Amino acid sequence: MTDERKHGLARRLTHYGDADFALYLRRSFAKSMGYSHDMLSRPIVGISNTASGFNNCHRGVPELIEAISRGVVAAGGLPLPFPVSSLGEVFLHPTSMLYRNLMAMDVEEMISAQPMDAVVLVGGCDKTVPALLMGAASADLPAILVVTGPMMTSRYQGERLGACTDCRGWWARYRAGEISPQQIREVEDGLVTTAGTCAVMGTASTMACLAETLGMMLPGTATIPAVHADRLRAAEVSGARAVALAAEDLRPSHIVTPAAVDNALRVLLALGGSTNAIIHLSAVAGRLGIRVSLERLNELSEITPVLVDLKPTGEHYMEDLFAAGGLGPVLGELADDLDGSARSVTGVTLAERLAERTFGDGQVVRRREMPVAERGGLVALKGSLAPDGAILKRSAADDRLFESEGRAVVFSSLDDLAARIDDPDLDVEPNDFLVLQNAGPKSTAAMPEAGYLPIPAKLARAGVKDMVRLSDARMSGTAYGTVVLHIAPEAAAGGPLALVRQGDRIRLSVADRRLDLLVDEAELSVRRAALPPPPAPPGRGYRRLHFDHVLQAPEGCDLDFLRAGGA
Ligand code: FES
């Protein structure tokens, strides 16, 4: 019998040259944990444990694992939690993005190497959901995702407070001198008051909603708050479903199909979701040989309205979306355009799910005829400054800047930005374009969420709220502004962004989907020839692996050898 057709502890035996001995030894060691022979004969459901003292968003994971385990046992399986990497967004240097692929490798290998028949993936914080889905897609074992759920909001001086759009809003007020150090400290105390992921339609919430759309989690579970009892009930049902998934051999490759990915793109646009999600969706799809094209994004963006009125695009928070019915009404409003053939971990197709369709409440989830915006939240730009593409979240940007030309104020690195952005002598005007170089995936910065360049202090104090900002970096899903991101190829890979100099003219046209550097080719050739040699790659370890193999944003910043078909 091939290893694939063996079950439970008999899968993936340790090689000793004697399979019967290996199984006998494995059972014997497993029994040392107190399991009976009968329990060890059951189908095994692995549960990825991403609890970590460095991940506040996963504070509820131990309780979720308990509930999942309960469901697995009730359905006749044996739950075995196992640790994998955990990426707490604000606890990682230089950025969690550097480690997403490392976590995905960890997840894939631990699912593949250990004897389990199905796996329940538990995650929530920005990079953990994509890493879990990427790893599970490559391992292609029956898998179901349980997210930690969003945190609840609190109040400060009568205003609702929820990470992390409000983090930025209050910090901008502080930088502009509108509130005192004592007040910003009080805000700090109240921004994050419960377990769970950020309270707005940031990357974590967007990825949870996309995972539900892709079909990798139980319908109706993406938006349940972290501290709500429904979250535990959903975990219990997910555990039970994992046992059935093993029997049905329903795998990620059966669920994450081109139809499901196309549906996820539409939902991303309707959510006004995070720019990061386009990178993560490209990476997850790429693991199964599915390409997410920027042309398709633009096509769908023209015909998909923004329906969800959540910060940073709108006004509400994730707990409001849950109260409004969660993702179901969003899918209900979009139903006529979605591909109903896509099916979820339940085995049910989207068309069957939407047979009893629900609709928006008109406020948090708008009706299609009264949307937040007529067109989708994200657009891709191309042009001489971004030959392979760039992304703008137009739903969170100032449309007065959409057709504009400006003078480049260039920062060559994050260090340069930090050193000069608030310099009173900085030569900068409100209509200038702020340009950040060397913050892409291959740079030493490793593509941090630094694309939301701060408004120079002297302009902020003068009341400037938004400027065109351009970079090869990313932006937090909770941020807002006229911020062009993911410029590809990046500066560190020799893209045209590296050639921009102080005072150059740049034109942005959202209508034409273009971003152009208005410098003639002869001058660019001279600059290209004079570029300094790239910095030496990291000498060793994972950082060297990442540097040598990381792809650009349109390929999801995955490592080349991890995509379907390898390098
Ligand atoms: Fe974890 Fe925002 S910091 S979701």
Neighbours of 239 (CB within 10 A): 29
Enclosing H/E stretch for 96 = none
Q: Give the E-state strand segments of 287-402 in sequence order.
A: 378-383, 386-393
- The string of DSSP letters for 156-194 reads ETTEEE-TTHHHHHHHHHHHTTSS-HHHHHHHHHHS--S
Rounded to whole angstroms, how far apart are CA atoms 40 and 10? Answer: 10
What residues contact 188, with CB distance under 8 A and at least 6 apart?
A: none
Rounded to whole angstroms, how far apart are CA atoms 87 and 110? Answer: 17
Query: What's the gap in Å between 309 CA and the centre of ligand 1?
Result: 20
CB distance 457 to ligand 1 below 6 Å: no
Alpha helix segments (H runs only) across 504-566: 521-529, 541-549
Q: Which atom of ligand 1 is nearest to the CA of 124?
A: 4
CB distance 129 to ligand 1 below 6 Å: no
CB distance 184 to ligand 1 below 6 Å: no
CA angle centred on 434, ends 432 and 435, rounded to 5°: 135
Neighbours of 505 (CB within 10 A): 13
Q: Which residue has the least CA distance to atom 2 on ligand 1?
A: 198
Rounded to whole angstroms, how far apart are CA atoms 228 and 322? Answer: 11
- Nearest-CA neighbor of 188 among 157, 174, 167? 167
Mutate to test the pocket of ligand 1, among 58, 194, 198 (most ligand atoms within 8 A of CB): 198
CB 225 within 8 A of CB 231: yes
Instruction: Name the pTM for this structure.
Output: 0.96
Q: Report helix, strand or coil for 209.
A: helix
- Nearest-CA neighbor of 60 among 241, 238, 228? 228
Residue 3: the pLDDT is: 61
Cα of 173 vs its chain's centroid, Å: 27
Query: What's the gap in Å between 247 CA and the centre of ligand 1?
Result: 34
CB 67 within 8 A of CB 232: yes
Q: Which atom of ligand 1 is nearest to the CA of 163?
A: 2
CB 465 within 8 A of CB 445: no
Rounded to whole angstroms, how far apart are CA atoms 27 and 32? Answer: 9
CB distance 89 to ligand 1 below 6 Å: yes
- Nearest-CA neighbor of 65 among 216, 219, 238? 238
Mutate to test the pocket of ligand 1, among 57, 97, 122 (most ligand atoms within 8 A of CB): 57
pLDDT per residue as tens, the chain (567 positions): 556 558 999 999 999 999 999 999 999 999 999 999 999 999 999 999 999 999 999 999 999 999 999 999 999 999 999 999 999 999 999 999 999 999 999 999 999 999 999 999 999 999 999 999 999 999 999 999 999 999 999 999 999 999 988 998 899 899 888 999 999 999 999 999 999 999 999 999 999 999 999 999 999 999 999 999 999 999 999 999 999 999 999 999 999 999 999 999 999 999 999 999 999 999 999 999 999 999 999 999 999 999 999 998 899 999 999 999 999 999 999 999 999 999 999 999 999 999 999 999 999 999 999 999 999 989 999 999 999 999 999 888 899 999 999 999 999 999 999 999 999 999 999 999 999 999 999 999 999 999 999 999 999 899 999 999 999 999 988 788 999 999 999 999 999 999 999 999 999 999 999 999 999 999 999 999 999 988 889 999 999 999 999 999 999 999 999 999 875
- The string of DSSP letters for 386-431 reads EEEEEEEEGGGS-GGGSEEEEEEEEESSHHHHHHHTT-TT----TT
What residues contact 383, with CB distance under 8 A and at least 6 apart?
A: 514, 515, 516, 517
Rounded to whole angstroms, how far apart are CA atoms 217 and 206? Answer: 14
Rounded to whole angstroms, how far apart are CA atoms 86 and 102? Answer: 10
Query: What's the gap in Å between 33 CA and the centre of ligand 1?
Result: 35
Long-range CB pairs of 529-534, under 8 A, 24+ apart, other chains included: 531/494, 531/498, 531/499, 534/492, 534/494
Query: What's the gap in Å between 189 CA and the centre of ligand 1?
Result: 16
Rounded to whole angstroms, how far apart are CA atoms 465 and 511? Answer: 22
CB distance 198 to ligand 1 below 6 Å: yes
Long-range CB pairs of 459-467, under 8 A, 24+ apart, other chains included: 459/428, 459/430, 460/172, 460/175, 460/176, 461/176, 461/177, 462/430, 463/176, 464/430, 465/172, 465/398, 466/397, 466/398, 466/401, 467/401, 467/430, 467/431, 467/432, 467/433, 467/434
CB 47 within 8 A of CB 120: yes
**Hey, what domains does the chain have and what are their CATH numbers?**
42-152+195-356 (no CATH), 154-190 (no CATH), 378-535 (3.50.30.80)
Query: What's the gap in Å between 420 CA and the centre of ligand 1?
Result: 29
Q: Which residue has the least CA distance to atom 3 on ligand 1?
A: 89
CB 152 within 8 A of CB 60: no
Cα of 11 vs its chain's centroid, Å: 32
Q: Report helix, strand or coil for 16.
A: coil
Rounded to whole angstroms, how far apart are CA atoms 269 and 308? Answer: 10
Residue 395: the pLDDT is: 85
CB distance 90 to ligand 1 below 6 Å: yes
Mutate to test the pocket of ligand 1, among 103, 125, 194 (most ligand atoms within 8 A of CB): 125
What residues contact 520, with CB distance under 8 A and at least 6 apart?
A: none
